[in-house]
């Protein structure tokens, strides 16, 4: 049981969402009526009038504040910036396009307030309005991640409530390339779930192309497991065994004067080994570039402006 006056900060990462900011804000206030709640927008380098809208809203309402990135740093950085600057006893991170229903956010808050969980995960039960390719891609990606790292993220989303304790732990994770939806699970803190259906976007268009999603998939797999690199070694061992057998066969042929021919085998082996070597180097390359980016230890984002009372100008 938490105190009835517990404050909740709702973090909304936004990129070019001028068409829906007002609608989302008023829906949130309507649903959270009578609850000590405030909204923190994180403008992830929008090129439209998103920031202007946030400033106007914030001037009219003390419960609304905003952080503005100097450029687009990505949704991951935006969510973490929100969590780092939220002042509430709990933080709800959700998409600004109403695909994460405010009613489900309220349910999260109530479960958190009446129980003793640190984290309430939003679990998506159906994907409407998503292209077949994206749906297939998401399924395949989660399967690969499950096999490689044992983390089951199918239907997991960035929609979640985390309390102060969980937020502090997440903020203390030093990695620069983050995967927000898996970080809360990693903490192992007591977790509850809220199921929600994602309606179609309230307006505007999606900010994630299939290409961007594929990049994200590679990033999150490499952030969570080094198994692909170990697979390289395993493949190498497999090929070595194959090579030993082939060597015996070749020697046998040679000794009994049956050599010659076998040109096809040589070509196929060359091509196969060549491509496996390249892929392996590529996998190692991805990890090296990740390490390179991590050791640079640059800030996750740069703020250019803030508005409202909420921003604690915390660092993430």
The 93-122 contact track toward Mg ion, x by CB under 5 A, reads: --x-x-x-----------------------
| Smallest distance from ligand UDP to CB 91, Å | 16
Of ligand UDP, Mg ion, none, which one does residue 242 interact with (CB within 5 to 8 Å by kind)? Answer: none
Of Mg ion, ligand UDP, none, which one does residue 38 interact with (CB within 5 to 8 Å by kind)? Answer: none
Largest CA distance in the chain: 93
Provide the residue count of the chain: 316
6 token code pair: 């517990």
Task: Find out whether 65 and 40 touch, Cβ atoms under 8 Å.
Answer: yes
Nearer to ligand UDP, 37 or 80 (CB): 80
Which parts of 72-119 fold into alpha helices (H)? Answer: 75-85, 102-114
> Could you give phi then psi for residue 140, rounded to 5 degrees?
-65, -45
State the residue for tokens 């995967």: 179
Stretch that binds Mg ion, among 21-29, 87-95, 221-229, 299-307 (CB under 5 A): 87-95
CA distances for 1 relative to 16, 31, 37, 103, angstroms: 39, 21, 18, 21
| Strands 191-198, 156-163: pairing kind | unpaired
Of Mg ion, ligand UDP, none, which one does residue 44 interact with (CB within 5 to 8 Å by kind)? Answer: ligand UDP
59 token code pair: 């001037």
By CB under 5 A, is residue 50 in contact with Mg ion? no
How many chain residues bind Mg ion (CB under 5 A)? 3
Of Mg ion, ligand UDP, none, which one does residue 207 interact with (CB within 5 to 8 Å by kind)? Answer: ligand UDP
255 token code pair: 């000794």
Where do contacts with ligand UDP occur on this chain (CB under 6 A)? 13-15, 17, 44, 72, 74-75, 78, 95-97, 99, 206-208
Of ligand UDP, Mg ion, none, which one does residue 107 interact with (CB within 5 to 8 Å by kind)? Answer: none
Nearer to ligand UDP, 72 or 187 (CB): 72
Give the binding site for Mg ion (CB under 5 A). 95, 97, 99
């Amino acid at each position: 049981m938490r105190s009835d006056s517990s404050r909740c900060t709702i973090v909304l990462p936004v990129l070019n969402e001028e068409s829906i900011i007002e609608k989302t804000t008023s829906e949130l206030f309507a649903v959270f009526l009578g609850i000590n709640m405030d909204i923190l927008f994180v403008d992830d380098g929008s090129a439209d009038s998103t920031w202007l809208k946030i400033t106007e809203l914030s001037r009219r309402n003390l419960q609304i504040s905003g952080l503005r990135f100097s450029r687009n740093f990505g949704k991951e950085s935006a969510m973490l910036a929100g969590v780092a600057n939220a002042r509430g006893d709990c933080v709800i991170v959700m998409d600004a396009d109403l695909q994460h229903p405010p009613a489900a956010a309220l349910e999260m808050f109530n479960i958190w307030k009446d129980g003793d969980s640190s984290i309430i995960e939003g679990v998506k039960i159906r994907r409407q309005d998503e292209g077949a390719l994206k749906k297939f891609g998401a399924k395949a990606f989660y399967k690969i991640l499950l096999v490689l790292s044992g983390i089951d993220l199918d239907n997991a989303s960035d929609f979640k409530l985390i309390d102060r304790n969980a937020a502090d732990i997440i903020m203390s994770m030093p990695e620069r390339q983050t995967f927000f939806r898996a970080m809360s699970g990693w903490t192992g803190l007591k977790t509850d779930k809220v199921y929600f259906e994602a309606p179609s976007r309230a307006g505007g268009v999606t900010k994630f192309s299939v290409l961007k999603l594929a990049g994200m998939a590679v990033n999150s797999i490499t952030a969570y497991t080094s198994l692909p690199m170990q697979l390289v070694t395993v493949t190498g061992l497999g090929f070595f065994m194959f090579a030993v057998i082939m060597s015996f066969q070749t020697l046998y042929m040679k000794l009994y004067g049956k050599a010659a021919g076998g040109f096809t085998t040589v070509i196929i082996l060359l091509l196969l080994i060549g491509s496996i070597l390249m892929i392996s180097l590529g996998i190692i390359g991805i990890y090296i570039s990740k390490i390179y980016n991590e050791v640079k230890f640059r800030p996750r984002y740069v703020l250019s402006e803030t508005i409202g009372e909420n921003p604690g100008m915390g660092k993430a």
